Amino acid sequence: MPTLLLSAADVRRLLDREALLRALRDAFAQYSMRKAIPALRAGSPLPGPGGRTVMIVFPGIIDGIPAFTVKVNTKIPGATRSVVGSMNLTAIESGEVLAIMDSIVVTAERTALAGALAADVLARRDVPRVAVIGAGVQGEAQVRALQQVRHVERVDVVDALPERAEAYAARVGPALGVEVVVHRDVAAAVRDADVIITATWSKEPFLSRSMVRDGVHITAVGADEPAKGEVHADLIATSLFVCDDRDLAVRGGAIGGAGLGPEAIHAELGEVIAGVKRGRTRPDQITIFGSVGLAFQDLAAAWQVYNRAKELGVGTPFEL
């Protein structure tokens, strides 16, 4: 069987966000309840300036799907394309590579939809105002995904580079049909937020308890490897903290970035979805979802994309 080569444009055309949201809901519950093969991440610094790294995320496995994924992403902070990479979709039984596809669209969409799932089970029902810290790809994707589960009316955005925030407002406001207001500092952006999305390269926590009001929900996706952090320990300690994977949250996620240990974690998202752990219990409670990203999320997206590609005749077949 030839291998199918799928570009970023192919993946973008084939990916169905609503279907993927449903698939991820089931996959998160399955992962936390069984965890027969835990998600693994192997990272390394690369030569050159600017904190370049390479990250391998594997193996993406979901019961009932006869394939797995291995993803390789290179991160180049400050570059026009700050993350580039590819993903192999491989048959479990034969080891044959079914497809090689761009991983960046998959990563952006599955990460954003995980944030939407967390908001759906943790955030209040009425959350019209969203603050976005970090006006990059994920800052936009998270708001788009959030619109699938909540009604968003206004986005307050701030970025370390003010021109990026201005460009975000000009692009995202019309595209998503929301009012977008640019701010010059984090405190102003989050002051009246119902949901806060942090998607930055920050090495130091910048969001503290004194900045946010009661009842807010926070989606923190920037701390996805060691030595990165966005949320202060004082905010985590006074919140209901939910992660995608306990071990990874401590080793390379928001918990580790704040200098805390596993005792600060209330639950994994899959446990809340499955109903074995409670989510929000009071309107004034602060909830946080700290995400590092898990390999099964890649598989859920890649399997959907691959099967739709075969059905529609999209992609370039070739022999390895």
Catalytic center residues: 224
Which positions ≥6 away from 163 have C-beta within 8 Å?
Answer: none
* Rg of the chain over all Cα atoms, to the nearest angstrom: 19
Q: At what angle do helices 17-34 and 295-312 cross, to 10 degrees?
A: 140
**CA angle 239-241-242, nearest 5°?**
155
3-state secondary structure of 189: helix
| Measured distance CA(25)–CA(148) in Å, rounded | 13
| Measured distance CA(28)–CA(277) in Å, rounded | 13
* Cα–Cα nearest to 164, from 142, 144, 134, 194: 134
Q: Phi and psi of 142, rounded to 5°? A: -65, -40
* Cα–Cα distances in angstroms (integers) from residue 137 to residues 84, 163, 166, 198, 229, in the given order: 12, 15, 14, 12, 18
| Measured distance CA(86)–CA(282) in Å, rounded | 42
* Cα–Cα distances in angstroms (integers) from residue 266 to residues 123, 211, 244, 307, in the given order: 15, 22, 11, 37
3-state secondary structure of 42: strand
